[in-house]
Chain A
Amino acid sequence: MSEELFDVRLTVNGLPHEARLPARRLLSDALRHDLGLTGTHVGCEHGVCGACTVLVDGRPVRSCLMFAVSAVDAEITTVEGLIEADGTAAGRLGPVQQAFAECHGLQCGFCTPGFLTTITAGLRDNPDPTEDEAREMIAGNLCRCTGYTNIVKSVLRAAEIAGERS
C-alpha cells in the first residue's frame, strides 16, 4: 500500500523543476533531496530556528512549514539564487553575501542561508535600515556561532554595497 504521489512543478530561482512527491514531503526536503538544492538547511523542523528560510514570492517563509505540493504556484528563491550574474560561470556574490564575507558574519555557515534570504528581502523592503531596524530584520533567525554582532554589521554593510552597486 504505497502513498499517492503528485506531479509537482516548482519554480525555484527562476527555473522550473519537476518532481513526483508525496503530499507530506516538506518543501525543505523537496528542495534539498528531490531538487538537489542543498543550500537550504534544516535545523529544527518546527519553524523556530529559521535555517530553512527561503523566499516565496519574494517573502521570507519557513520551508520546513510548507509542503512542496502547496508551493506549486509560487516563485521560490533559495540561497543559490542570490548569486548575481556577471558573465562568468560562477557569478558574483550578491550584496548580502558579499557583506557577510567582509564582516565575518558566519562561522559554521549552517544558519547562514536563512539569514541571507531573510536579509535580502528585508533590504529590498527597507534599503537603508537603522541599526535597530537591522536587528529587527534578523530577530527571527537563530545563530549559535556568531553571537549576532557581525550579522548586524553585515546587514548594514549589505545596504551600503547594494547602494554602491546600483
Chain B
Amino acid sequence: MKPGPFSFVRPQGLQHALEALAADPGAKVLAGGQSLVPLLSMRLAAPSTLVDINALPDLDQITVDDAGVHVGALARHADVLASPDVRRVQPLVSLALSHVAHATIRNRGTTVGSIVHADAAAEMPMVLTLLGGSVTVASASGTRTIPASELYAGPMESTLHHDEIALGAWFPALADGEGVAFEEITRRHGDYALAGVGAVVRVDGDRVVSARVGYLSVCDVPTVVDVTGALEPEGRAAEVALERLTPDDDIHATAAYRSHLVRVLTGRVLRSAYDDARARSGGQA
C-alpha cells in the first residue's frame, strides 16, 4: 500500500508554509502524520501537495499558567501526556491522552493535529469541546481563534479553511470546585473506543453546581451534554445524552450495545468526576 505521488514542501518558516498551502487547493498539512499517512498509503486520500510543517520553529511549546494549558501545533501527545504541569492544571487532558492509541503513536502524533483531524472517535476533540477550549489558526490574512463549539462542522470535518494552519490549542484550567473523569471501552487496549465518556463536575460542598458530559465514538461530531438538571434519578443523565447521540452498528458492536455502554459509563464517569471534585476541594468523596 504505497501512496500516490504528491508535491512536497518542508518550509522552515510559517509564511512559506501558508503560501504553499494557499497556492494549491489540493494541499494538506503534514504534522504527526499518524492519521494522515495511512490514508495516503491506502489511497483513500490523495492530496496534490503535502506541506510538512515539522521544521517550523517554536510550534512545539507546551505552556501552562493559571488560565489553562496552551499546546503548540507540533507538541507530541507523548510530551503533553508527560507534562506534570498539564496534569496539575487540567488533569482531564492527561487522563484522556493516556487512552490515545499506543505510546509509539503518541511519540509522533500531535495533540493539535488530532483536534483538527475532527474524528469523533478520537479523544482530544471531545476533551477540547467538553472543556470549552479553542484552536488558534493562521492564514496569509492573519490569525483567528476558533472556539471548540464552532470547530466541528460534521464527521471528520473541521471549520478550518483550506489555507489555514492550526498553530495551537488552548484548554481552560480546572476551576475551583471542579473535578474530572474519563473512561472508554475498547475491544483491545489502545483501539478506538466503542464508547468513550468524559465529565466535568463542579461542586459546592457536597452539592453539584454543574455537570457536563462529553462523548466520543457514539456521535458524528464530539458531543457535549449539560446534565446539571438531570442527575436524578440515577440513569437520567444518560437518557438525556442518548437523545443527542447517534451510536452506530458496526462489526465490533451494535448500536444497542453502544447505547448500553453510554448508560453504564455516564453513571460511572459522573460519579468519578464528583468524587474527584470533592477530593480536590478537601471534602470527602
Contacts and interface: CB of A to CB of B under 8 A. Distances in A.
Interface of A: 3-4, 6, 22-24, 26, 29, 45-47, 50, 53, 56, 59-62, 64-67, 69-70, 72-73, 118, 136-137, 139-141
Nearest to B30: A70
Given A24-B6, A62-B104, 13 more contacts: A24-B5, A26-B2, A45-B1, A47-B38, A65-B34, A66-B37, A67-B52, A69-B8, A70-B10, A70-B30, A73-B55, A118-B104, A137-B103
Contacts of B102: 50, 139-140
Contact of B54 (A24, A47, A53, A70): A70
Interface of B: 1-8, 10, 30, 33-34, 37-38, 40-42, 50, 52, 54-55, 78, 101-105, 107-108, 189-190
B37 A65 contact: yes
Nearest to A29: B2
A57 B107 CA distance: 11
Contacts of A59: 78, 107-108
A23 B8 contact: yes
A46 to B, nearest CB: 4
A69 B10 contact: yes
A98 B150 CA distance: 54
B104 A50 contact: yes
A47 B105 contact: yes
Nearest to A55: B107
Main secondary structure of the interface of B (DSSP, over half): mixed
Residue with the greatest number of chain B CB neighbours at <10 A, chosen from A4, A60, A64? A60
A3 to B, nearest CB: 5
A62 B102 CA distance: 11
A64 B41 CA distance: 9
Contacts of B42: 46
Contacts of A70: 10, 30, 33, 52, 54
A60 B102 CA distance: 11
Contact of B105 (A23, A136, A140): A140
Given A47-B105, A60-B107, A140 B190 contact: yes
Given A73-B55, A139-B189, A3 B2 contact: no
Nearest to A1: B5
Nearest to A59: B107
A66 B33 CA distance: 7
A69 B52 contact: yes
B38 A65 contact: yes
